[in-house]
Amino acid sequence: MTSTILSVQSSVAYGHVGNSAAVFPLQRLGVEVWPVYTVHFSNHTGYGAWRGPLLAAEDVRDVITGIEERGAMPEIDAVLSGYQGGTQIGDVILDAVARVKEANPEAIYACDPVMGNAKSGCFVHPDIPILLRERVVPKADLITPNQFELGFLTETDPADLETTLASVDKAREMGPSTVLVTSVLRPDRPQNTIEMLAVHGDGAWIVQTPHLPLKANGSGDVTAALFTAHLLETGDAAVALARTVSSVFDLLQTTLDSGRRELQLVQSQEAIAHPQMQFEVTRVR
């Protein structure tokens, strides 16, 4: 049965971040996606210059209300959100989640709590981490932080597997039942590798891949979207992890080989639709 995802994220005309990174991969998996835009920029802000509007929170709310007026809320299986530009957008997303869950109690809220990364630190407005920690994450069923964001959310310092799992447990105590941790950099890992960790139910699984030398804006948005879709379809976090890591690695490799800055999403669509499953997933709990 086809899943339906309401994805409330940014949009860019040139390149792939936010909904411009999430929608096509989801559609390629056969997921029905209803994108709601929070901004519509010419390009992502990493270039240092961009044009286009930041949409007012009330405009975003109106779009969601219009969907509700079509009687469509019961069809939604998941609400997906990424970078939240301000606290007002956070309020709109939380309101949408509440309305969707009222119409379909089985629906989940998948939140990518975008705040920063280990290399550049926290790059969002100081109000955002507080909003995420105190109000958004407690309402989420699934969160997809990187290791840095996991530490920021839980006010811990995840490093090795033991401390990262302890941080995940603390995050789950806040509300989410499932946590996907990206960009896990254990001190004792083999050189030039990176890992991803999924915790769901009473199990935890980790997968290791080569660490590719590129900064790929939007790769976290693709990761959150794919893992959400695969988890909805299978209910199996280990399978969702294996499929997601396979597709994202091939996407990043294709992007690196292209020599281009933007994700090569269209060129990688077969790897998204048919993951090679080339990496071993290891149960660690």
pLDDT tens digits, residue range 27-56?
A: 999 999 999 999 999 999 999 999 999 999
What confidence score (pLDDT) does residue 84 get?
A: 85
What confidence score (pLDDT) does residue 85 get?
A: 78
pTM of the model: 0.97
Mean pLDDT, to the nearest integer, of 157-164? 97
Amino acid type, 237: A
From CA 7, how far away is CA 23, in angstroms rounded? 8
Q: Which domains does the chain have, with CATH numbers?
A: 4-283 (3.40.1190.20)
Confidence of residue 227 (pLDDT cuts 50, 70, 90): very high
Mean pLDDT, to the nearest integer, of 131-141? 96
Q: Which of 19-23, 49-53, 82-86, 105-109 has the lowest mean pLDDT?
A: 82-86
Confidence of residue 125 (pLDDT cuts 50, 70, 90): confident
Listed in sequence order, the residues at least 6 apart from 210 whose beta carbon sits closer than 8 Å to its beta carbon are: 192, 193, 194, 249
Amino acid type, 35: P
Instruction: Kindly state the helix (H) or strand (E) to which residue 59 belongs, with its residue range.
Output: helix 57-69
pLDDT over 90 at 126, yes or no: no
Which residue, chain included where needed, has tokens 């995420």? 132
pLDDT over 90 at 263, yes or no: yes
Query: What does the mean pLDDT of the chain come to?
Result: 96
Mean pLDDT, to the nearest integer, of 200-220? 96
Residue 146 φ/ψ, nearest 5 degrees: -80, 175
pLDDT over 90 at 87, yes or no: no
pLDDT over 90 at 121, yes or no: no
What confidence score (pLDDT) does residue 1 get?
A: 78
What confidence score (pLDDT) does residue 187 get?
A: 96
Mean pLDDT, to the nearest integer, of 135-154? 97
